[in-house]
């Protein structure tokens, strides 16, 4: 464990300048979100509504964050086939563990970056912090989400769960990215496939003739609460059941992709 830890920190430190570019990109899109948030509602601003709004913005959450994350993981793990590094590892399981460490570390960096940016931007908009829904905050929410009513669960609980789902989604995406990267010798093809998959799942509901029943099996339906593709999440839905099913969904997905990645490493020829 310590070898993969040492190595992941070494690699991350070596390439840490990339985080500045990522943060600038995130900031750019979050400022855009803030602008649309400010122009959507003129009344009292609620901090938790702003967080829910910015986390559920489909362009940021469905496309920008996943694409940035997939590119970051590919870049961070691009030294993976370096023979000088590989033969110093104890075994193939340690290379796999080193991958998982790098993905989790970057996932945490991303979540911290997203939350930090959202909180930082909220300072300028003088948001009111209110822990429970009332008539005014519900009205504010509905204006932001095109007439959609918020779920009864406390806003802060919803935000915590959104963050947990986003963490799990990015973890799954990172593992999937690395699995696809390992299947190809060149770097361009897997990068294209990874970005294509993100765009495909983000746009799946717009595909003509696509059976909408299948959308519930896509990751996109399991990490946002208030998006076009989120099924049956209304005021009356049972929040606990949705949380439970989403967590089960992510555990299964992460387990399957981790199993595949570990198997690929066991049989990979480092030519």
Residues near other proteins (CB under 8 A):
3, 6-7, 10, 14, 79, 82-93, 266-267, 269-271
- Cα dihedral sign, 1-66-129-153: negative
Nearer to other proteins, 53 or 98 (CB): 98
CB of 8 to other proteins, least distance (A): 10
Q: How far is the CB of 181 from other proteins (least distance, A)?
A: 16
| Residue with smaller CB distance to other proteins, 7 or 173 | 7
Q: Which is nearer to other proteins, 89 or 138 (CB)?
A: 89
Is the CB of 139 or the CB of 268 nearer to other proteins? 268
Q: How far is the CB of 10 from other proteins (least distance, A)?
A: 5
Of 55, 245, 254, residue with least CA distance to 158: 55
Question: Which residues are bridge partners to 128 per DSSP?
Answer: 46
Residues 137, 142: Cα–Cα separation, whole Å: 9
Smallest gap, in angstroms, from Cβ of residue 98 to other proteins? 10
Neighbours of 180 (CB within 10 A): 18
Do 223 and 168 meet the contact criterion of CB atoms below 8 Å apart? yes
Give min distance, CB of 245 to other proteins, in A. 37
Q: How far apart are CA 46 and CA 240, in angstroms?
A: 24
Tokens standing for residue 112: 């911290």
Cβ nearer to other proteins, comparing 126 with 267: 267
């Amino acid at each position: 464990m310590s070898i993969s830890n040492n190595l992941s920190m070494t690699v991350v430190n070596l390439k840490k300048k990339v985080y500045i570019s990522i943060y600038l990109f995130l900031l750019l899109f979050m400022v855009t979100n803030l602008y649309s948030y400010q122009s959507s509602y003129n009344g009292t601003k609620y901090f938790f509504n702003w967080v829910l709004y910015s986390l559920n913005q489909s362009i940021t959450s469905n496309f920008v964050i996943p694409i940035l994350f997939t590119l970051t993981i590919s870049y961070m793990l691009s030294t993976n086939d370096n023979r000088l590094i590989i033969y110093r590892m104890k075994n193939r399981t340690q290379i796999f563990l080193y991958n998982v460490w790098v993905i989790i570390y970057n996932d945490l960096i991303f979540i911290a970056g997203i939350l930090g940016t959202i909180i930082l931007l909220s300072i300028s908009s003088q948001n009111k912090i209110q822990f429970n829904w009332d008539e005014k905050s519900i009205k504010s929410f509905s204006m932001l989400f095109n007439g959609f009513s918020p779920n009864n669960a406390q806003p802060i609980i919803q935000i915590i769960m959104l963050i947990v789902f986003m963490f799990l989604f990015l973890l799954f995406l990172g593992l999937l990215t690395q699995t696809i990267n390992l299947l190809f010798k060149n770097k361009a093809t897997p990068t294209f496939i990874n970005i294509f998959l993100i765009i495909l799942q983000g746009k799946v509901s717009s595909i003509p003739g696509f059976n909408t029943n299948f959308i519930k099996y896509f990751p996109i339906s399991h990490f946002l609460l208030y998006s076009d593709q989120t099924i049956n999440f209304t005021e009356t839905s049972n929040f606990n059941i949705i949380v439970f099913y989403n967590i089960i969904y992510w555990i299964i997905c992460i387990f399957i992709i981790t199993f595949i990645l570990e198997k690929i490493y066991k049989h990979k020829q480092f030519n």
